[in-house]
Structure 1
Amino acid sequence: MAANATLFVAMPFDEFQELIQNTIKNELKKFSIVPQPTPQDDLMSIEDAGALLHVSKVTIHKWKKKKLIQAYRIGRKIYFKRRELIEAINSTVLIRGKTKVSIN
């Protein structure tokens, strides 16, 4: 049989629809290369960030305003990257309740 020959096969509509869906899914998988975020780059809400750092939401907002921690806004919500929070805390020192940046 020639490579460009037309072939007609009797097939139930549901089988035909499933065959097309599977073919499209398999072809789209070739093009969908989505980078998976690393666990340390997980976005955290203010509540999660406060729980991680053992501080209140007010403290998180104050640190964000002083630019001690980097915040990301998506719509009306504010998120923080876990890795950046840990790095920021490791690079700062608390002295009598006030934040002082260390020289490390």
Structure 2
Amino acid sequence: MQTILTSGVTYSQLLDDLRAIIRHEVSNSGPAVPTDTASGPELLTVREAADFLDVCPQTIHDWKRRGMLLYHKIGGRTYLKRADVLNALQRHKRTAKPAGKGETRRG
């Protein structure tokens, strides 16, 4: 086993080097497990979930805060399972806005 000396290396430089090594190893590890392209990836970012549900990202954050949508933190980023997002879609169907009080029908 080799010994790595980190004296004289800044923390940010070490992080950058580790990220580069991980990227290299992941890209050379062979083919990734194929995902079902019809349903998309299993984990979605907040923006992807918002686009999928046709709401703004703030709505996703609000639903997370209120416990209406389960989420997972991975490395400081928030991800949502596609199945949980689909369940939220079923629970929170949009309805058409009723006509306002001042609006009249013209015939």
Greater share of strand residues, 1 or 2? Answer: 1
TM-score (norm 2): 0.48
Question: Could you say which structure has the higher helix fraction?
Answer: 1
TM-score by length of 1: 0.50
